[in-house]
Amino acid sequence: MTIGGTGSKDTLAELGTEDETQEDYDPYKHRTISKPNSTFGTFVHVMKGAMGVGILSMPYAIRNGGLIFGVIGTFLLGMLYSHCVHLLVNTAYKICKRERVPMLSFAQTVDRACALGSPKFRPIGKILKTIVDYFLMIPIASMIYMVFVGNTIHDVINARTDLDWDVRIYILLVAIPAIGITQMKHPEHYLGCPGIVNINNICLAILYCFIGVVGYLRYGDKIQGSITLNFPQDEDLAMVIQILSAVAILFSIGIFFYVPIETIWRRIHNRVPEKWHVAVQTLIRLLYLVGIVGIACGVPDIGTFVGFIGAVFNPILALWLPIIVDTIYRWPNEFGWMKWRLVKNGLMAVFGMFLLITGIISSVEDIIDLYK
């Protein structure tokens, strides 16, 4: 079987136990990566990518949700998302082992899980693969972060000088070329106990809760949407914190180019002569950067609209698709005692629907408030 094919008629139940040759195949040992990241390097990249400007809004979230519920909810959400990553990566590993291929992308995993599952699920494989690919091509975080950095520098400089430059000028000034990241040297360290996923989510939950609780205790009900808005503009320390937060976000923007560019490159690299590979990849990065800066300058409030897109697609990508992949691949007889895994997946899917509905309502309210 190959990655591109979807004509397999074997399900897990029909195949039964894997043969000895398949059991001996370890996908991790057959990967060829020119410049792989170390385990610690991957951990740092994941932390930088996951810890965005949302951490500055945690005190506001704690105010709305309450201290106890807010802290507990943050840890529970961290555990939920971590579990969904485990579902997706474990399924991808099983498929790689079964088909004797070194690695699969997110979209390929979705497609192959449907192809190897029950025949009634196979038609949706290509549809879901296309949805995943096209959504991953949208650099949502980069748009929001570019606007955040420009606004922060705008507020700091305009408040302390006689300049009255428009925020669009600062967005142009902070535009930098994208930075790429490589894949892991030891991918087996990504999951497991403790594993990068588990350590990363624990650290993120602790940091988010710390900022949220401390910020709320300091400013109380006066806390604003971002804690930096509560900082006194005439204090040097507040200015330094604002600049450092903008710089930290600025140097993380490049990480978010990796997934969309990798997705596009996977779809077009066969059509590009090998001698032009580097030039075309550089051109794609440049076009992405120009496009993001252009959108951010044209619509400085783009974060509100992009937030709506994220509210719709993030629960789908981060929760539903891993659940769907795991369920389809295990269908119909691999769910354990009394099908507890199927029940668990169903409950998580219902919770994902709750997040989807509440996220859409909140985003629509933000858009309405923007034009009041």
Quickly state the pLDDT bin for 23 (edges 50, 70, 90).
Answer: low
Closest C-alpha to 65, from 223, 230, 228: 223
How buried is 108 (Cβ within 10 angstroms: 0-12 exposed, 13-18 middle, 19+ buried)? buried
- Tens-place pLDDT, residues 56-106: 878 888 887 788 888 888 888 888 888 888 888 889 888 888 888 888 888
Weakest-pLDDT range from 168-172, 231-235, 333-337: 168-172
Quickly state the pLDDT bin for 178 (edges 50, 70, 90).
Answer: very low
The pLDDT of residue 346: 92
Amino acid letter, residue 247? V
Say yes or no to pLDDT of 163 above 70.
yes
Tell me which range, 27-31, 40-44, 87-91, 302-306, is most confidently predicted by mean pLDDT: 87-91
Quickly state the pLDDT bin for 347 (edges 50, 70, 90).
Answer: very high
Instruction: Tell me the β-bridge partners of 37.
Output: 184
Q: Phi/psi at 351 (nearest 5 deg)? A: -65, -35
The pLDDT of residue 35: 65
Q: Phi/psi at 70 (nearest 5 deg)? A: -65, -45
Q: What mean pLDDT comes out for the span 45-56?
A: 72
Q: Which two tokens stand for residue 88?
A: 């997706």
Closest C-alpha to 317, from 46, 187, 77, 133: 133
Percent of the chain whose pLDDT exceeds 70: 79
* Predicted TM-score (pTM) of this structure: 0.73
Quickly state the pLDDT bin for 13 (edges 50, 70, 90).
Answer: very low
Total number of residues shown for the chain: 372
Rg (CA), the chain: 22
Q: Which two tokens stand for residue 202?
A: 């624990």
- Tens-place pLDDT, residues 125-137: 888 888 888 888 7
Q: Which two tokens stand for residue 158?
A: 């305009």
The pLDDT of residue 37: 66
Q: Do 366 and 304 form a contact (C-beta atoms < 8 A)?
A: yes
Closest C-alpha to 98, from 3, 22, 196: 22
Neighbouring CB atoms inside 10 A of 172's CB total 15
Q: What mean pLDDT comes out for the span 189-198?
A: 66
> Could you give the dihedral angle defined by the CA atoms of residues 183, 189, 194 and 198, in that order, rounded to the nearest 10 degrees?
30
HSE-up (13 A, CA, CB side) for residue 339: 10
Say yes or no to pLDDT of 25 above 70.
yes
Q: What mean pLDDT comes out for the span 304-325?
A: 80
Give yes or no for a cis peptide into 194 (omega within 30° of 0): yes
